[in-house]
Amino acid sequence: MADDSFSQVIFSFENNFDFNGNLIWIQTYWKLSFLSVAIYLLLIYFGQRWMKSRCAFELRTALVVWNLSLAVFSIAGSCRILPQMLAYVHNDGFENTVCDGSRIKDNGIVSFWSWYFMLSKVVELGDTAFIVLRKQKLVFLHWYHHVTVLIYTWYSTQQIIPNARWFILMNIMVHSAMYSYYAFKAMKFKIPQSVAMTITTAQMLQMVGGLYINWRAYSAISSGRHCDTGMWNIQMSLLMYASYWLLFAYFFYNSYMKKPSRPKTA
């Protein structure tokens, strides 16, 4: 494992992670992500119709448990992956972390948490169930983000895309804060609006980071240097991150900057 200054204790469940077996599984079944998305969208449609004539569920306790569980998973994953990525940069340079996928299978820590990160994208679809059952407003950004991230994550996992390690780390770090915020909010803690603004800002910075990492991969390929991240994946990812940034910026403006419209007078 990397450098002693970045060394971590590796747990048995990480050390025994069956990289090759799981790779075969995801390469065989990654298209199940499309089925998951189709079921998800149908459940949204019929769920909202079903709730039209019903009172909203409170689901307070379930919401706390749900968000706390995802927060704990995200925090644990961040604490495990971050030191490994810092070690990669320290030893191999940043470009190799973006372009060299040859040693991914040798790192049980990153492989284990990346695998369960991928599976968590299906679990996180449950976020929407709380919105539908509590009769809250379901914005385009919410379901679009869930759908595209799930498909892209499953697609990239079966291709062993090296720069996806950065995407995973950025996402799981932001989710550590986001799900913690939602958990405390569900517990009725009074949280300043500045916290929500900070989290949305972090999400926008995550998208900028995604664009930069893709640019670094594109730059390496354009300059004739070896890069295991394919051009098609880079193009898809660039389009996704650009669309996310625009949607989060629009959300930020409407939520925190736009002045409420004054009621019209007769």
Let me know: does 107 contact 81? Beta carbons within 8 Å: no
Q: For position 5, what pLDDT does the model report?
A: 43
Query: How far apart (Å, rounded) are the C-alpha atoms in residues 178 and 97?
Result: 26
Q: For position 62, what pLDDT does the model report?
A: 98
Q: For position 17, what pLDDT does the model report?
A: 95
Catalytic pick among 90, 142, 145, 175: 145
What is the mean pLDDT for each group of 10 consecutive residues in the chain (266 residues)? Answer: 59 95 97 98 98 96 98 98 95 94 90 98 98 97 98 96 96 98 97 96 98 97 94 96 98 87 52
Let me know: does 228 contact 161? Beta carbons within 8 Å: yes
Whether 145 is catalytic: yes
Let me know: does 207 contact 85? Beta carbons within 8 Å: no
Let me know: does 227 contact 220? Beta carbons within 8 Å: yes
> How many distinct helices (H) and strands (E) make up the chain?
11, 0
pTM of the predicted model over 0.75: yes
Q: For position 263, what pLDDT does the model report?
A: 52
Q: For position 176, what pLDDT does the model report?
A: 98
Burial of residue 259 (CB within 10 Å: 0-12, 13-18, 19+) is exposed
> How far out from the chain centre does Cα 156 lie?
13
Q: Which of 69, 257, 87 is nearest to 175 (CA)?
A: 69
